[in-house]
Amino acid sequence: MEDVLAVVGPTATGKSGLAVELAYRLGGPDRVEVINADAYQLYRGMDIGTAKVTKAEQRGITHHQLDVLDPGEDSSVATYQEQARADLEDIMARGRRAIVVGGSGLYVRALLDHMNFPGADSDIRASIENRAQIKGPRALYDELNAKDPQAAVSIGPQNERRIIRALEVIELTGQPYSANLPRQEYVYPTFTIGLDFDRGQLDHRVAQRVDLMVEQGLVQEVTELAPRLGRTAARAVGYAEILDYLAGSITLDTAIEQITANTRRLTRKQMGWFGRDPRIEWLRGENETLIEDALAAIAAHDQGLRKTQSHEPVRRSLGS
């Protein structure tokens, strides 16, 4: 059985296009299928703002985990893990090869790596949320830092939702939340390709991409989705800023500037996540020989000849 392939990296590096091209070069629609690992592409209707691969761009390659959630639903990494792994195992059972593609590091790792998801307790969560209202989110972060410094560093003081979840897991299990973070150990034999550009080039690509989204109708898309957007979907970069514009709190020009800045910030975070993984074979996205480079790396891996040298210069270019 051929190993699973994964294509990862920051936003705007061309991962989806590369995945489709690789699928064709490795056997086409009858041999290869793609599994999405982008958290916001799970949502129906969130197309332009997530740069979701269109039916035409899929070129007949079956794509899984696209358009599986309504915009009002809160996404769950645990649910994604269960459903995406079922897709992956079905693909493998049919003798086909899977390509996992996405920039949401947590979702990629939930699918491919050993990662546990503790249960939930609504009473515990309600108690923590009540403390958040009384004391403020900073107090919760300080509490998490005292109980699990590793988790506090990983989550940061701004992500109130994950802080609450971390404290809930600690109280529920009696173990540090960080004990449930993913280990760099594949569940399925996997070869991962990372796409990267130097920082200046990637920043330029992000600006071009945001301008194109606006031209394609991002404002109209968000306007139509606004009444149905849930808490999770409304926080997506590109959607949160246009919602502020629609509410009259900022101008459209300011919203576009914020989308560009926030997307660039996102690319730094993504590279901070993926750049720490020594298993990734990094390729330069601007290379004219990218497809051939990727195919050569896959062939070398499949033949047991994968090089193991690190790619520190790439990680330094975008690392946070």
| Better pLDDT: 54 or 121 | 54
Structure tokens at 11: 């936003």
* Residue 313 predicted with pLDDT over 80: no
8-18 pLDDT tens trace: 999 999 999 99
Concatenated DSSP letters for 3-33?
PEEEEE-STTS-HHHHHHHHHHHTT-TTTEE
**Would you state the pLDDT for residue 182?**
66
Nearest Cα to 202, choosing from 270, 254, 279, 253? 270
Concatenated DSSP letters for 125-158?
HHHHHHHHHHH-HHHHHHHHHHH-HHHHHHH-TT
Average pLDDT over residues 268-277: 93
Q: Which runs of E-coded beta strand occur in the chain? A: 4-8, 32-36, 63-64, 97-102, 190-196, 281-284
**Would you state the pLDDT for residue 309?**
36
Work out the pLDDT band at 86, boundaries 50, 70, 90. Answer: very high
| Better pLDDT: 313 or 247 | 247
Taking the alpha carbons at both ends of the chain, their separation in whole angstroms is 37
297-306 pLDDT tens trace: 999 999 985 5
* Residue 294 predicted with pLDDT over 80: yes
Stated as kind and residue range, the H or E segment containing 293 is helix 290-302
**Would you state the pLDDT for residue 117?**
80
Distance (Å, whole) CA 219 – CA 238: 9
Annotated binding site for substrate: 11-16
Annotated binding site for ATP: 9-16
CA atoms within 13 A on the CB side of 317: 18
28-37 pLDDT tens trace: 999 999 999 9
Q: What percentage of the chain exceeds 90 in pLDDT?
A: 83
* Residue 290 predicted with pLDDT over 90: yes
> Which positions ≥6 away from 166 have C-beta within 8 Å?
144, 148, 151, 155, 177
Name all domains of the chain by residue range, CATH numbers in brackets.
4-116+188-198+274-318 (3.40.50.300), 122-179 (1.10.20.140), 202-268 (1.10.287.890)
**Would you state the pLDDT for residue 119?**
78
Placement of tokens 């020989």 in the chain: 289
Annotated binding site: 9-16
Average pLDDT, the chain: 92
Phi-psi group of 187: left, alpha or beta (phi > 0 → left; psi -120 to 50 → alpha; rest → beta)? alpha
Max CA distance (Å), the chain: 59
